Amino acid sequence: MADAASEDLLSAEELGHAWPALSMEERLEGFHGLVRGDADDFFLDLPAADQAELLVALPPEERRLWVRLLAPDDAVDVVQGLPEAERPRFLELLDPVSRREVSALLAYAEDAAGGLMSPRFARVRREMTADEAIRYLRRQAREQAETIYYAYVLDPEQRLEGVVSFRDLLTAAPERRVDEFMKRDVVSVPDTLDQEAVARLMAAEDVNALPVVDGQGRMQGIVTVDDVVDVVQQEATEDIQKLGGMEALDAPYLATGFVAMLKKRAGWLAVLFVSEMLTATAMSGFEEEIAKAVVLAVFVPLIISSGGNSGSQASTLVIRAMALGEVRLADALRVARRELLTGLSLGVILAAIGVVRIFVWQGLFGSYGPTTPLLAATVGVSVIGVVTWGTFAGSLMPILIRRMGFDPASASAPFIATLVDVSGVVIYFTTAKLILGIS
Amino acid sequence: MADAASEDLLSAEELGHAWPALSMEERLEGFHGLVRGDADDFFLDLPAADQAELLVALPPEERRLWVRLLAPDDAVDVVQGLPEAERPRFLELLDPVSRREVSALLAYAEDAAGGLMSPRFARVRREMTADEAIRYLRRQAREQAETIYYAYVLDPEQRLEGVVSFRDLLTAAPERRVDEFMKRDVVSVPDTLDQEAVARLMAAEDVNALPVVDGQGRMQGIVTVDDVVDVVQQEATEDIQKLGGMEALDAPYLATGFVAMLKKRAGWLAVLFVSEMLTATAMSGFEEEIAKAVVLAVFVPLIISSGGNSGSQASTLVIRAMALGEVRLADALRVARRELLTGLSLGVILAAIGVVRIFVWQGLFGSYGPTTPLLAATVGVSVIGVVTWGTFAGSLMPILIRRMGFDPASASAPFIATLVDVSGVVIYFTTAKLILGIS
């Protein structure tokens, strides 16, 4: 057949879906099979880590072409994805202006405003008229400013004096001076601000771009709202993975290798497993009681899991509320009071269900004999205690962890469950001892 | 003091932070205490639910003023937050044009593209020159188009023919016709598309606005990237709360009332509690074995929690990967194979830790007597079985739940833990029976 070769070629869309599962050789083949226009779009749409991998794999003479396609802030992400040794070689491929910009951006932490911003913002002078400003921005539009829809007014020391939207310029009388109608109280962010805080501020201020300034108040770049969508998505993914009791992955699920995946998951599981061993130690101390009333052992999973579940709820709620800035460290007392009461109410509801279950089973099958009321009391009181404690501990643990300077999302559901399991065993058997009067 | 009254007044920022904790009376007082310009911004920055509450509480003669501040898509959100009976009265406050727009938008589901879009998009005609188009857009800028930075080219039937960015118009030669340089292959979304899918598409396409079309291909409005930030944030919050084993809240944590909070949490907890009762039933079947070797009971929490934890990891990972579109239903087999292998590896690692622990305790304290090797074998084999099963079940449950047409995020960590607890008890005691040869 004449078109046997072309039948083998994947479209950009097919290649995109197959990408994570392909070997680098197959990726290169697929990429080279795309027509030029599609290849451009395909390359620009790849995540930075994949762009970096692909660039390293490409023949050296093809690299410059692709590198120069990237905007400086995207180029920075790619460089950060390269092995240390490859970076200088890669920077040399850039034109001198971009190289300077990229090198400057590389000095910032990846997850700070400085690492997120583009240095190519549009600027106007305060004494320009609206008409002059529009003409000036028109020129900047050709020279690759990230967005011309916001123009910043800077003084000679590059300090931010105001901002005008392109729309303001269009609707203003052509001969009015920029400083007559520019917005002066501009919200800006320091270049060291964490990207999560940048995202929160942008959502709260409802703007499409935020200027970034250095320690001396000089404007360095802008963060635009489309960068922030990625940040919000990525931070939520990291939090969710941590909440599941593991380290956050660096790549999509199906694109993460088997060994890398194992490493991210085994560490936390091992820590939890070792901690959970304390339940065995705690229960060993009650072996005598168990021997006397084996039925006690039967309710252990029920009791401790009720604490774990209510604790998971509480910690998850508080962690998310903290990530959204709804709950701060100063709110700890309010959260504690609230969750104590909630935990108590939830405990009473679950205890009631548990007590009914025991009496019903006794009625139907005679499962528990004459000590049924005492057993029911033990289970009921324990559930109230364990759920109240689990909810309380689950809600305060993220706040405590944040206060110690760590990420509150580490107070994952499995972490809280493990913590509560150990104390749950102690609460349960101590209650049993008191109520059943064993030993 | 002369300024005793003004000392009582809160700034907009103070009011914003105190807001969730205030009674409606205090809110009204604080709101009326703001100077007019601040009050505008403050009102526009409130979440839609709070805007609705505030509007209902305001004296009727003040309402029109605030209602008319809202853009039509925001007004829709507010109306949806009002009690059914209040809605017609509220719609009457709008000017006739806005009322028509808002009523049309109200017909869409809140979480569909149609519910998210603004009907006020900028349009140009294909035969206009670049210069004419700019002048035309300048007029639309004054008339409250949501954004003029993208202008849509429609045919007489309102079908989308192309799009030009304002930037394209600025850089084009003034006398060129729009249809000479407009982008023709425009990505648009149907008005019924789910907002999560809209957000994903927007991130993938890297555009700042997406046109929304109806079933006949007629353009209805645009969704802009700043709407999508909220969607991404909100969907992640809902998923995280479900992953914590509860229903998603409708409001921020501290703004949710005690009873509403209890309702969202007690339901799932009760379901989990009742399911977990199966562990008691399962363990009852092994009471004889426990009576003969009480030490078996001691390891129950350790064994079952190792399954719950590994299952939580797996389900959380898969749920998030599905939400991001990285894993589809068609990938089920690949996920299953992968997780089976991962589960087995994790199980072996944890089993090794468990076996070492038992021998060390025996060496140090003589805890387990002559059956130590058999006990170690029981625990080791059970952990491998439970972790492999937990990981496998945890990864497939979200896919199954999605296939049944429900939200995969319901396969929360507590849900998976409960599921695995019950099977864990059976796996553990069956292994014990086989290895220890009891009964």
DSSP string, A130-146: HHHHHHHHHHHHHTT-S
Q: How confident is the model at residue A144 (pLDDT cuts 50, 70, 90)?
A: low
Distance CA A206, CA A212 (A): 16
Distance CA A180, CA A177 (A): 5
Distance CA A428, CA A424 (A): 6
Distance CA B332, CA B400 (A): 9
- Residues of B within 8 A of A239 (CB-CB) are 236, 240
- Contact state of B244 with A414 under an 8 Å Cβ cutoff: no
Query: Is residue B213 less than 8 Å (CB to CB) from chain A?
Result: no
- Nearest-Cα distance to chain B for A314, in Å, is 8
- Nearest-Cα distance to chain A for B85, in Å, is 31
pLDDT exceeding 70 applies to what percent of chain A? Answer: 97
Handedness of CA A337, A341, A342, A347 (dihedral sign): positive
- Nearest-Cα distance to chain A for B100, in Å, is 26
A379-398 b/e with 16+ CB inside 10 Å = b? bbbbbbbbbbbbbbbbbbbb
**Quick check: A141 pLDDT over 50?**
yes
**Quick check: B126 pLDDT over 60?**
yes
Q: Which residue has the tokens 């992953």?
A: B243
A vs B, Cβ pairs < 8 A, gives 344
pLDDT at position B182, please? 92
Tell which B residues from 63 to 92 touch A, by Cβ distance under 8 Å.
Answer: none
B45 close to B37: Cβ distance less than 8 angstroms: no
- Nearest-Cα distance to chain B for A58, in Å, is 24
Q: How confident is the model at residue B306 (pLDDT cuts 50, 70, 90)?
A: very high
pLDDT at position A4, please? 41
**Quick check: A3 pLDDT over 50?**
no
**Whole-prediction pTM:** 0.76
Amino acid letter, residue B147? T
A245 close to B413: Cβ distance less than 8 angstroms: yes
Distance CA B289, CA B295 (A): 10
Q: How confident is the model at residue A1 (pLDDT cuts 50, 70, 90)?
A: very low
pLDDT at position B347, please? 95
Query: Is residue A276 less than 8 Å (CB to CB) from chain B?
Result: yes
Amino acid letter, residue A432? A
Instruction: Enter the tokens of residue A237.
Output: 């993914």
Tens-digit pLDDT profile for residues A304-343 = 999 999 999 999 999 989 888 888 888 889 899 999 999 9
For A260, which residue in chain B has the nearest alpha carbon?
A: B342
Distance CA B6, CA B15 (A): 14
A25-37 b/e with 16+ CB inside 10 Å = b? eebbebbebbeee
- Nearest-Cα distance to chain B for A122, in Å, is 12
Q: How confident is the model at residue A176 (pLDDT cuts 50, 70, 90)?
A: very high
Tens-digit pLDDT profile for residues B310-337 = 999 999 999 988 888 888 888 889 899 9
pLDDT at position A388, please? 96
B303, B320, B364: best to mutate for the A interface, most A CBs within 10 A: B320
Distance CA B414, CA A183 (A): 50
Amino acid letter, residue B417? A
Cβ contacts of B264-268, under 8 Å, gap ≥ 24: B265/A310, B265/A313, B265/A342, B265/A346, B266/A345, B266/A346, B266/A349, B268/A313, B268/B412, B268/B414, B268/B415
For B17, which residue in chain A has the nearest alpha carbon?
A: A326
Exposed (0-12), middle (13-18) or buried (19+): which is A400, by Cβ within 10 Å? middle
pLDDT at position B288, please? 86
Distance CA A164, CA A183 (A): 6
Q: Which residue has the tokens 């501020």?
A: A201
Distance CA B302, CA A275 (A): 9
- Contact state of A326 with B295 under an 8 Å Cβ cutoff: no
Point out the residue among B202, B253, B318 whose CB comes nearest to the CB of A317: B253
Among A207-216, B373-382, B383-392, the least confident range: A207-216
**Quick check: A25 pLDDT over 70?**
yes
Query: Is residue A306 less than 8 Å (CB to CB) from chain B?
Result: yes
Q: How confident is the model at residue B379 (pLDDT cuts 50, 70, 90)?
A: very high
Tens-digit pLDDT profile for residues A271-305 = 888 888 899 888 888 888 888 888 889 999 999 99
Query: Is residue A251 less than 8 Å (CB to CB) from chain B?
Result: no
- Residues of B within 8 A of A232 (CB-CB) are 229, 232-233, 236
A108 close to A194: Cβ distance less than 8 angstroms: no
Tens-digit pLDDT profile for residues B82-117 = 888 888 888 888 888 888 888 888 878 778 888 888
**Quick check: A160 pLDDT over 50?**
yes
Query: Is residue B249 less than 8 Å (CB to CB) from chain A?
Result: yes
A138, A148, A165, A313: best to mutate for the B interface, most B CBs within 10 A: A313
Interval B15-28 mean pLDDT: 82
pLDDT at position A8, please? 60
- Contact state of B354 with A138 under an 8 Å Cβ cutoff: no
Distance CA A350, CA A356 (A): 10
For residue A311, report the phi and psi dihedrals to the nearest 5 degrees. Answer: -65, -40
Interval A54-63 mean pLDDT: 85
- Nearest-Cα distance to chain A for B284, in Å, is 6
pLDDT at position A6, please? 46
Interval A15-28 mean pLDDT: 82
DSSP at B224 = E
Instruction: Enter the tokens of residue B214.
Output: 């109806």
Instruction: Enter the tokens of residue A354.
Output: 């548990």
- Contact state of A342 with B262 under an 8 Å Cβ cutoff: yes
Interval B16-26 mean pLDDT: 80
pLDDT at position B229, please? 82
Q: Which residue has the tokens 């959970």?
A: A276
CB atoms closer than 10 angstroms to residue A53: 17
Q: Which residue has the tokens 């396969």?
A: B411
Distance CA B261, CA A3 (A): 64
